[in-house]
Amino acid sequence: MRTDDRIKSTETHQFRMVMPLALNDNGNLFGGTAMQWMDEVAYITALRFTRMKVVTVAVENLRFKKAIKPGSMAEIIGRVISARRIKIIIQVEIFIENADSDYREKAVDALFTFAAVNHENKPVCIDSNVRFELKNQHAYPLAENQAEELLKSTGN
């Protein structure tokens, strides 16, 4: 399968309804709840793309752009933007819409970096058939540094 086709076929969509129990005292969705939803979608996306065991090593550029209110429908979308030797970077976005309108807008986005690991949680190489580089390799320096630190800490 071509890389572009694999990226498209492993894009992950999850829908959630924002319920009162998930709200903070300001009446908005807890940021930590949004982050949990995003990490789950990022993990599923990385797993579907690599078909390997993966672990989260970094979250970067997390931006809360709009408060998420109760009764909103949230769509969490994960897509692969880079797959290198050991790490994979997933862009995750949350879009919100009201039940009574077609208006939709982005509320949160972030980049999640995962490392492929073996059964002992030691880094392993991602299959070379699915690797691809970002056009700007240093667009996400924190994610790159985190993956490199993981390699050094395990002696690889």
At 139, which CATH number?
3.10.129.10
- Domain total in the chain: 1
With 0-12 CB in 10 A as exposed, 13-18 as middle and 19+ as buried, what is 3? Answer: middle
Task: Report yes or no: 115 and 55 within 8 Å, Cβ to Cβ.
Answer: yes
Could you tell me the pTM of the whole model?
Answer: 0.83
Two tokens at 156?
Answer: 């690889």
Q: Which domain holds residue 53?
A: 3-153
Query: Strand 72-83 relative to strand 104-116: parallel, antiparallel, unpaired?
Result: unpaired
pLDDT in tens, the chain (156 residues): 777 888 889 999 999 999 999 999 999 999 999 999 999 999 999 999 999 999 999 999 999 999 999 999 999 999 999 988 889 999 999 999 998 888 999 999 999 999 999 999 999 998 866 767 655 444 444 455 555 555 555 444
